[in-house]
Structure 1
């Protein structure tokens, strides 16, 4: 027996078993429901009729009229009234009616019971008699039969759909069919190739038919070229948003690079709706589609606001990624700001009850005519990875240069990162935190990767390490290097920044605890810096981490901090050593009174719980203002 037959036998047994089980269970459930409805009908009829008779004169003719009317209104087997004195009044159906639509075997297989309902008829304060009501089951059998037939049809339709899906599953499992699948996919991409016929007889016939189809389609396309071209153009736009798709975008980008001069500058923005699958599961497809359409509308509005002389292509690259290609120069920062405002408005309109930030990250860069398309897309992918790591503190990354300068593909990045971990070609970069008197308060260590052509800083390779799931390994290496450096330099105070996943990693925490216990002196001069987003999104893990680290004599700092940490009830109990404010909070202290007041408030709260406040090195004219706000030190980045 072939593999395909074995799989089909197994699938058939499972499908038939599931069908029979579902059908039997559904049939019994429907029968139970019909019987319950008969009981309810009998009871309600008996109670209603008894109440009506109780409230009228006990005239036999009038009572018979009520009972006859009720008997004629519904399908009843009998309705009877047995007075305490006198003859009973009985209405019964005549000869049982034979349903032409319900077979006898069905009634035998699924018998219905219609329990008789009783109700007491009152005459003033005394009892007049007992009313009995029983429904005829013929109409109920008709209802039961139609519902079961409908259920069977639905189950059969579902069985057919599952069988079709199983057919495709078998096709993917059976390896010899892979060439046929690839050939079909090529035809779908208008690559009408003819495959070599295999030796297997069944597959040989299939491939021969596919080759015949390819030849026929090729000839058809030759004859109907204009029609096919018109159809192709109609398929170049995303059905949901109306934007151009990825192929149109990539073609437009290549055309722009090929036709422009080497020094001609252009702008490219790419942004991503984060956790689209989770949004779809939480909000439903309809609302998720509204969000995506809102994003597309924002792009279209931005596209319409640009200079008409500029060529602008707005595209949806895949489910969650969008892009905006602009020929000529444009202010990227202004574009990102305008786009963020439009996205925020669209988000609030789609989901007014959502309190979280807009889950969209943006990457923007300059490009020139001598750039390579693959290098540009790789660079933008890296910027998106960096923006994802920095979200929600900020959702956009604007490249200061045309591209990263590395031009690595995804596989090359993976090779560089794994090679750095294996070969040990990792270096250390040091950023110093100084007071206003240039006294060194702290030195922040980061890793660098040495390659034959570049020395790659942490902010460039960290997003890729996170994407590949090996960021914890770099954190472990950085932690070990910091302890080794502290052992040889007794006067240093060092800080290392750990990622969010590392804080909750059991293996890292176990190894860290062991090393800190082994080197307590070095641990007392080490500060572990955690991003504020980690503390906000995982407060329990962060609090447990801070408590464990402080018990070992090591300090914990908060970096990239904003206003969110002020609202945390855990802040006073965390024992944090310092906070490093987000650079976006200190861009214009001199001219922005609200920004200055805000920093003063942060410093006041931080100092009240024994924390120092650090910021990135400000401009000379803003340094004095920052000190007046209460800032304790400035980080100086080494180039």
Structure 2
């Protein structure tokens, strides 16, 4: 029962008790007062009438007329004259139609009046005895009117006290409301902190919950930093600070298998010619300093890329690999990076350092060995050139630009979005208990000729034209239709661009609010780079979506482990771990250690850990032992049955 109801019940109980007490006290007081006043009136009236009758004592007829006239003009219950000879004159009121007061009141407070008595004399001779009693119905009427006035008074006072009490209660329990919201947030795995209220009783509760949230936050920060430090030691080159060979190739492998805007891009290789001789001539410390500067330049260049997915790594002592998803002009990017590295050499006074470069485009479905062979094939010939250059190697796959170079992408995409010419393909996400968690549903765009384009083919143009929020809204609408028709859990990927559009976020929330309870079957996920590039806007999105009870998560998580603690107050439901950390997990002991620790951190704040890109049974069995809650990938058939 709410405090407001308890307050009203308390006020009503208190006022009822006060009313009952006041009612009895005031009614008894009024009763005794009326009885006394009516008795005095009886004495005065009987004396006056007796004097009048003394003048007509010998004439019974006249006496009767006097008594009747007095009865008619007065308010009497009865008037009775008893003569000494035994005869009498008696006039009584008819009380059969008594409506001045309810019967229960008359029974509860009966008005009992002693009659007035006087002697009727003719000189010194007694003629008879006169008795009368005033009418009580007017006393009951007065008593009933007093009761009604008292009732109205107490009702008015009760309502006024209730209203004032409710207003005061709102002020008093305002800190309690914040405390309840704080407790609910913790229950939803959002470990927030709130300002301590002034109320002493609430202050202790809020202080304790703030300590809990702070403890969880500190624990997450400490564990995340330890885990990220261990990841960097495992994945990053100690000199350059960028990724080692296996991690950077893992990212490339993931991009080649992802059906999204990272499905194609630029691949650039930079080689330091004859690094062994340079170590001897220039000194190892000098060359290490150069390599460290190279790593910083490449890292900064990757961070500056709009996609947020570019990575750089050191393949061996002298070779560097840079992956830039969504870049369709590798020669320009390759030349730009090579120029920046040559500038580092000049700044360090190393004119003898020669850099060789090659670049190409990668596409969805290609293999790593094919791409590296393509790049290596021209590096040797580049070494024969006297000038530093980055040689472009055309892809043997028909590039997306070549295949669709005459396409009016703006017109095609606008038309497809307006006509909703999009379909959703289903891929199962399976729990470790072999139950379906939800279906991933990447979008496919249908051209006017019926051809279906994969997300990797049109998503770069969607992003370039700023249509990502509009696409997200259409995809959400299609997913909701699918939920209505099939009644299954459906997951969709929201773009990072949605977080930059407040209007689109509001439209999304309005659409989900209109959908009703079935929105609980909708799983929404945002890529890791989008979340941490615009964390406050993502926080705002979560605040709007959580009351709707849809499921919220982050996908492609791999690089921002150290910032997982910043998600403690968002109330997320799950995290999808990038396929670059999942590949060959059954044989990679370091990655197993990392993944086990990562799952422990996620579980500590109530998040489910889902593995992306599971390809073999061995990987799946290993993941089950590491604490993974579910997985998705080619290992699970599209027609998965529980």
TM-score after normalising by structure 1: 0.39
> Which has more radius of gyration?
2
**Relative contact order (alpha carbons < 8 A, sep ≥ 6): 1 or 2 greater?**
2
